[in-house]
Structure 1
């Protein structure tokens, strides 16, 4: 599966514990990454400062569902189920 351009669910729903430029303590779950544009595109895409966790994310139907809203629900649920 290819990422749906303009989705951005993976930049909103999960927490990111690693440092992100401008977000030295990472990002809490449910909060938009400050690098996510209004068009839901990553401003760090393809840049070396993009966190490895972000670059390593691969879109899959089981995670991303059939649309953006479903992706937010699934990723959010996974986040809650794995939060310590």
Structure 2
């Protein structure tokens, strides 16, 4: 089965989820719904493939269900996933 490729100009996976690992420019990670500082104007990761990219980012692989048919669908799906998996003691 061929790999699912990222949609150009999307960036939903760099906005919707929270990231608790340090990111260059965001030493405490990033909250859910906040655009990562490493996401450029074309919605591409500036540190893609580099060692300073958090493992959680490189481990997240695009999948048809996650990406949907548009960037808006991807953002909605990932936002819901973030809400569904948030620990009970964490509040948005």
Taking structure 1 as the reference length, what is the TM-score of the superposition? 0.95
Runs (4+) off by over 3 Å:
none
Structure 2 CA distance, aligned partners of 1:21 and 1:9?
19
Say whether residues 1:67 and 2:70 are aligned partners: yes
User: Pairwise CA RMSD of aligned residues?
Assistant: 0.8
User: Which one of the candidate residues 3, 8, 33 is aligned to 2:6?
Assistant: 3
Larger Rg: 2
Tell me the number of residue pairs that the alignment of Structure 1 and Structure 2 aligns: 84
Any unmatched runs of 5+ in structure 1? Answer: none
Any unmatched runs of 5+ in structure 2? Answer: 88-92
Taking structure 2 as the reference length, what is the TM-score of the superposition? 0.87
Say whether residues 1:58 and 2:61 are aligned partners: yes
